[in-house]
Amino acid sequence: MGSATARRIDRIDTGPRFTEADAALLNARFAGIETREMLRTVIGEGLAGRVAVVSSFGAESAVLLHLVAQIDPGTPVVFLETHKHFAETIAYRDELVARLGLTNLVIAQPDPARLAERDANGLRWSFDPDGCCEIRKVEPLARALDGFDATITGRKGFQSATRAGLPRFEIDRSDAAARLKINPLANWSKDELDAYVVAHDLPAHALVAQGYPSIGCSPCTSKVAPGEDPRSGRWKGWDKVECGIHDAGQPDDELPPGYDPVF
């Protein structure tokens, strides 16, 4: 892709994807622009090329999915079927897809051969959560996004200290192809999310009322105490805050010292 000065951020490029300068220009262009209008331009006008939403169908997923559905319900929505989800998450996924009229749900699954090789007993999460995420999330997502130029995520800055100051547009540093990552809700507060849910009568994930403000795979998701970061219940007891799809992650064959699993 050409330099930031040579490339206009108002058309679909046919060259390599995006640069850090492109992300900076997009952040400047949409500074102060309402989220719905920003998404309408990005999705409706093809500003970012081929775009897919990546959704966990978790605690706050309904807001982003509703915004996207109002613009184009045929936008691809990628869901990572790790085979470790709560049953409530699968039910919520199906409810939202039907309720919002989403017509292009893409279910990405781990490679059966990789599971047989690296997680035959399904317990890798218990001694190597990074490796489990690599097999069940990072690798399947990379395959599912092949050919897409940009992804839309539901990350918010308030969710944890590591997400504070999250920009609306950034380059996916885990992607060698320089895919653009778009975070439409980056600066939304919890109160704004809640107000949107009420205003549009959106259904809630069944586990939220039970003390789960952030919901991932069932073995690695715990309840959160009042006052804690919403994501503090993810991988509790481990030095881990992301599954790897939002960073480079840790190779799944690099095990923590002292572990000698038998498969």
Residues with catalytic function: 243
Q: Parallel, antiparallel, or unpaired for β 180-182 and 105-108?
A: unpaired
Residues in the chain: 263
* CA–CA distance, 207 with 219 (Å, rounded to integer): 14
What does each C-alpha distance from 166 to 23, 156, 161, 172 come to in angstroms?
12, 7, 10, 13
Q: Where are the alpha helices (DSSP H) in 2-125?
A: 20-29, 35-39, 61-71, 87-100, 112-118
Give the rounded distance of the alpha carbon of 252 from its chain centre.
Answer: 20
Angle of helix 87-100 relative to helix 61-71, nearest 10 degrees, comes to 30
For residue 39 the two structure tokens come to 């998404």
